[in-house]
Amino acid sequence: MSYTNEQIQEIVATQRKFFRTGATLPVKWRIEQLKKLKAAVIAHATEFEDALTADLGRSRAEAFLCDVGPIVVEINEMIRGLRRWARPETHFSGLMCFPSMITKVYKMPYGVSLVISPFNFPILLTIGVVAAAMCGGNTVVIKTSSKSSACTAVMKRFFAELFPPEYITLIDGGHDVADMCLAQRFDKIFYTGSPSVGKHVMAEAAKNLTPVALELGGETGNWCVVRKDADIKDAARKIAFFKLLNAGQICININQIAVAKEVVEPFLEELKKAFTKQIGDNPIANEEYPKLITEAAYDKCAKLADEYRDRIVYGGFGDRTSCKYAPTIIYPVNQDEHIVMHELFCPLLPVVPFPDAEIDAMMETIAEREHPLAMYLFTKDMRWAKRTMQTQQYGGGCINEVCIHLMVKGVPFNGTGHSGMGAYHGEWGFREFTHPQTVLKGRTRFNLTLREHPYTGKAGEWKMRLLKWFER
């Protein structure tokens, strides 16, 4: 379906009118909608899995593991926690406010929100964010990716059957439609995608001073560091699993690995074995191995691999017809080469060797670049690992593990700088889609003249003494 500016403007106006009725404010009503959403996700799981296979070549198990299952877990957390999260906070106003001693903080929804979702996890990163917006009491206009067309078609029917358009509406189309959406005055925008488009979203949102949450991949990619004391077999197994997942099209995936020179050769052998064990000698022929989203994405991956053809030590081949490109290890790569200066979003895996004694210099190089969305460290030196994780700037990460920090309940998923702003998942999603409003309850009796004129003379002197006493 094609849209006009007038149609989108009418969708937003209709949702704003509905929001102002106060229908979305009661916590009980929100929980009912979340339960309805959860039941529908479970009922349509097979349909979602089929769409993910069509768009990304995902196996049914991978589709459930990465998209469908996490949504159910996320909504369960919201249903259980919403009453507690939404409860107004009560604060002591302080002696300066006497006799008005009670102040409340109410968690108010922003209103009409816009959720722009990506192609790589089209179900999870649409429904998961929409659930957070619903949890906060907002209405939602959804703009999905035109690249994942099968998932967009399924979700458009899904939301249309489940909720009235004045509450939740999905809009499909290309970049022109996204720009028409961004031209409207929304109360909150949540965008997941690339840093370059994130800048555009912020610029458009700034015209209406609309608050924005961004979940981005990180302009210079996510680093994985393997020290000489690491369990290299364990590290290789986990890294291979992660790089195979969705053919590398994951915002928190490993973009490049820095490996200590002392163990780089045995590590590479273990990584090759791990890839082969998990996906076989010919991943292109393996039905479980996902594909790249479009021919353009395949061509970009293949072209970059060809530039480093003389340094490919594993993989390096693909099939344009199926848009599948094999996991490909490129070694050695210098830390300043262009392949490690931008997000790859494909199965290419550059390996950067470094002397383990120069780990501080390596970490300084990483710190000087744009903040990644994720960081992964493999080492037995927990003191160094903890110190590093507490001093580097990144969205989130793991020590001796990959990606599963994303699955932990009660913790935020977020980025910083070029990897994003804001946070969501569980209560953090509720916070992202609500604004804390402070309200002091005044008294009509026993009000002091402390704040009133005069401020000079004897009256001023005793007022000043009282003010200083109150502020101790």
Residue numbers annotated as active site: 215, 251
Task: Identify whether the C-beta of residue 257 lies closer than 8 Å to the C-beta of residue 351.
Answer: yes
Whether 213 contacts 432, CB under 8 Å: yes
Task: Please enumerate in sequence order all residues whose Cβ is within 8 A of that of 391, keeping only pairs 6 or more positions apart, or say none.
Answer: none
Structure tokens belonging to residue 129 = 């964010």
Task: Give SS3 for 201.
Answer: helix
For the chain, how long is the longest CA-to-CA vector?
Answer: 91
Whole-angstrom distance between the N-terminal and C-terminal Cα of the chain? 65
- Taking phi first (over 0 means left), then psi (-120 to 50 degrees means alpha), and beta for anything else, what does residue 116 get? beta
Q: Give exposure, 109-146, as e/b (b: 16+ Cβ within 10 Å).
A: bbbbbbbbbbbbbbbbbbbbbbbbbbbbbbbbbbbbbe
Rounded to whole angstroms, the Cα distance separating 305 from 42 reads 40
3-state SS, residue 472: coil
